[in-house]
Structure 1
Amino acid sequence: MRTPGGSGGWWGRKSTPGKVETYTRWSFHFFAVFEVAAVGLPLFAQVRAGLAGWMTAVVVVHALLCSATASRALDWTRDRRAQPVRLLWALGTVTVLISVVALVLRERGPGGDDLRAATNTVFVCVLGFGTGTLTLGVRGRRPLLAMVASAVGGALVVQLPLGVAAPAALGTAVAVLFTAGCLAFTAAFSVWLLDAVYELDEARETRARLAVAEERLRFGRDLHDVMGRNLSVIALKSELAVQLARRGRAEAVEQMIEVQRIARESQREVRDVVRGYREADLRLELAGAQGVLAAAGIDCEVTGDAAGLPVEVQSALGWVVREATTNVLRHGDAGRCVVGVRVAEGRVVLTVENDGAKVGEGDGGDGTGGAGLVGLRERLTAVGGKLEAGAVDGDRFRVVATVPLPSATGTGMGGGAS
């Protein structure tokens, strides 16, 4: 079911996969903010202002480049654009240059322990964040591990020509391994999770379409069973009548009379099939709705009993169940649906309520919009009933159909709308 616009806002209008994707994107943007806050800004308290200024600017540029690369790479993982090869090469080049400059400043720059600590942090974090972001632009476990191994190996090798002691170089390489490895794992897991959520959503939509297709096949089979034999007989008798007429035989008239009889019988049987389809059995519709929603991964609870209700009432409410079930499957992102039937004060009340309703689609909030709801109102009006539909409690949508029982109307079920 779909809820009226105006509540829930921008976030509420997103589907579950859209929310997961947005959360993933902003997580990587937050990594860029974290890089600036944890690496760039503390430089002002560790080194002199001039040096801290340009070093912070370099970290900011690297963070923005990481953020842009992550965004483009996520688009690539969703097959929305080509692999951002140039951006990946640019990020890799900038990451290496900044790391090497930071390492040179650490070993050869003017300053004491504060400068060494600050530049070491820049070296480890820039190399780690850059490598972690680059892994978003590759597919497969081997390329990912190769990138992390290259970053760790490069961090170890580049220190040795500068005269760094082996234990210190190894410690720095381990720090790079931890930072780059954690971010690479986060990137790989985020992409896997995003793909899984989209695949599950597509599977749910496929199950919903299959449920609708199954109903159409059932109706088609019923028509085939009714019409197949009769049409074959009509074709044979018509051909026989043609042959008899060409020979001037009077039996041709009898054969055509028989064709007319079979044709009228076929019309009656088709009307019976359609009538049986339209005049739904409420109990069967409730059981069918529960089965279809369960197949789509939606928990459905049915309460109440439809036994003993008049045929007209069951038919009208059965159509409400059909339409409501279809909307739950096609719209929103429901996880639970509750259907209740109760008889009170000479009326039958059917309630269908589901969660996970989308915002900004569907009826107009007063329950007047939507072709499906309009059709249901027309059916309920024919039996003196009424329909109410609208959002409740944010992301929940409720449809309430009320139909008076014949004894309560005094003139049967054909009264006007209440």
Structure 2
Amino acid sequence: MAGTRQDGARGWPWRSWSDLSEVERVDVYTRQSLYLLLWASLAFTLVGALPEADEVTPRLVAVLVAALVLGLLGTRALTAVADLYPAEGPLPWRQVGPLLAACAVAVTLVVTWAGDLRSAAGAGIWVVLAWSLGGLRGRIPSAVLLAVLTVLPAVVTTEWWAFAYGLVTGAFFLFTCRVSLWLLGVVTELDAARTAQSALAVAEERLRFSRDVHDVLGRRLSTIAVQAELAATLAGRGDERAAPRMLEVRGIAHEALREARELARGYRPTDLGQELEGARSLLRSAGIGAQVDVEGLDPSWHEPAAWVVREAVTNVLRHSSATTVAISYAGDVLEVRNDGAGGPVGDAGTDGSGLSGLRARLAPRGATVEVEHDPPSFAVRVRMPAPALTGAPS
């Protein structure tokens, strides 16, 4: 995100204000304000020295050239310091180093001068350091910079009161830079959080859709496979019941196609009654008996219970040789049990992706999924506490 913000700020001169995002506008406003303060302060400190000069002397030219060089180096350093926000990174020595070296050389020369030109030049160096490096993060860099800003006025003016002046004004400049860049960092982080939240919402929707596809199409395809196998067996025997079976397969395929379209459009509701009736029909078609007793199940748990029934019945059709399936509810526990579990196969033995996905969907509602594998019996139990205790939606 920081990289995007920097690219937007650097490309701003070639883009209109209306083309910038809100974050890029804040970035541009903050940076341009700090640049303006740096150059305005530098110019103001030098203006006082010009009336005192009756003519353009080499020393005055040197001061003006040095001010231009320090201003450019300071702008470069300020840009690098601003680029650190909102993260705390290592000091940008490639930009800060040349500025510090130039300021050290300038101070060494200025202290040998006398008069107002010396004070103006010293003030110019001071404001460049304050605005350029005032946004540096970390206790040590901040403490060192404040110490330099405190001592520098006294070194240039040789007055004792300059210590207090440097300390107070230096602290104010550092505070101003830090607050400005801190606000920029906050805005950038909020924008990054909003972007991450949008991406998370998309990911959650994709996960929800993939689960629905797994639940709906998985069950339908399992039924088609069972019915097609039965029809092939009947056809091999010359049994007339093969044709009706294939017609039933076609009907199931059309139903699966309809449900897939509903899933794609987001219109398909999950209804417990429909799931139980569909489970009975599918199990009956596969020659499996079904016993259903979910009396007393709270209506707020009907949709999650439908997920459980759909997943459990799909696993029965895929992985078991069951002859009976019992779906029951008692004591806050919904159970789907079958009598056809063999060795560890598929979800029956390895607790595969279907049951793992079911756990993930039920966990936010306070429900827990338990599996009992004791051949030939296999059971999926879901504990569904009272909504008042779990905050489940009613």
Q: Name the TM-score class by shorter chain.
A: 0.5 to 0.7
C-alpha separation in 2, matches of 1:224 and 1:43: 80
Counterpart selection for 2:175 from 169, 180, 185:
185
Q: How far off is 1:122 after superposition? A: 3.0
Q: Secondary structure at the match of 2:227?
A: helix
Tell me, yes or no, if the aligned pair for 1:129 and 1:179 is still in contact at 8 Å: no
Q: Distance in 2 between matches of 1:82 and 1:243?
A: 73
Q: How far off its partner does 1:91 sit?
A: 0.7
Q: Which of 39, 46, 52 is the equivalent residue of 2:45? A: 39
The superposition leaves residues 385-414 of structure 1 with CA deviations (integer Å, 9 ceiling, x where unpaired) of xxxxxxxxxxxxxxxxxxxxxxxxxxxxxx
2:146 counterpart letter in structure 1: V
- Which position in structure 2 is the counterpart of 1:123? 122
Task: For residue 54 of structure 1, report the CA deviation from its aligned partner.
Answer: 2.9
Distance 1:272 1:12, change over 3 A: closer
State the match for 2:26 in structure 1: 20
Closer, same or farther in 2 for the Cα pair 1:32/1:151, shift >3 Å?
Answer: closer
Instruction: Give the conservation status (yes or no) of the 8 Å contact 1:127–1:151.
Output: yes
The residue that corresponds to 1:152 in the other structure is 150
C-alpha displacement of 1:44: 1.2
Contact 2:46–2:120 under 8 Å retained in 1: no
Q: CA deviation at 1:18?
A: 0.8
1:83 and 1:216 map into 2 onto residues whose CA distance is 42
C-alpha separation in 1, matches of 2:50 and 2:61 = 7
Q: Higher RCO, 1 or 2 (CA under 8 Å, sep at least 6)?
A: 1
How far, CA to CA, are the matches of 2:151 and 2:265 in structure 1?
76
1:140 maps to amino acid = G
1:351 alignment partner in structure 2: none
Tell me if the contact between 1:128 and 1:176 (Cα under 8 Å) persists in the aligned partners: no
Shift of 1:104: 2.9
Query: Does the Cα contact within 8 Å between 1:133 and 1:184 map onto a contact in 2?
Result: no
Counterpart of 1:204 in structure 2 is: 194
- Whether the 8 Å CA contact 2:17–2:25 is kept in 1: the answer is yes
> Aligned partners of 1:275, 1:139: CA distance in 2, in Å?
50
Letter in structure 2 aligned against 1:258 = E
* Counterpart residue number, 1:375: none
Report % sequence identity. 31
Deviations 1:175-213 (A, max 9, x none): 222333222222222322222111111222333344455
SS in structure 1 at match of 2:137: coil
Q: How does 1:366-385 map to 2 (within 5 A)?
A: none
State whether residues 17 and 197 of structure 1, in contact with CA within 8 Å, keep that contact through their aligned partners in structure 2. Answer: yes
1:345 aligns to what?
none
1:61 to 48, 69, 77: 69
CA displacement at 1:92 relative to structure 2: 0.8
Q: Which string of whole-angstrom CA distances, capped at 9 and with x for unpartnered residues, describes residues 234-276 of structure 1?
A: 1222233445556666654443333222223333444555677
Q: Which whole-Å CA distance do the structure 1 matches of 2:109 and 2:153 have between them?
A: 12
- The 1-side partners of 2:265 and 2:132 are apart by 62
The answer to whether the 8 A contact 2:26-2:184 is kept is yes
Cα separation, partners in 2 of 1:239 and 1:83, compared to 1, 3 Å: farther
Q: Which runs of 5+ in 2 are unaligned?
A: 1-14, 269-394
CA gap of 1:199–1:275, structure 2 versus 1, over 3 A, is closer
Equivalent residue for 1:104?
112
**Count of residues paired in the alignment:** 251
Distance in 2 between residues matched to 1:246 and 1:83, nearest whole Å: 80
Offset of residue 57 of structure 1: 2.9
Give the conservation status (yes or no) of the 8 Å contact 2:103–2:125: yes
Q: Which residue of 2 aligns with 1:352?
A: none
Larger radius of gyration: 2
Distance 2:166 2:127 in 1: 6
Q: Secondary structure at the match of 1:142?
A: helix
Aligned pairs (5 A) from 1:264-303: 264-271=254-261, 277=267
| Cα shift readout 1:3-60 (whole Å, capped 9, x = no counterpart) | xxxxxx8112111111111112212321332134211222111244314343233223
RMSD: 3.5
Q: Is the 8 A contact 1:132 1:181 kept in 2?
A: no
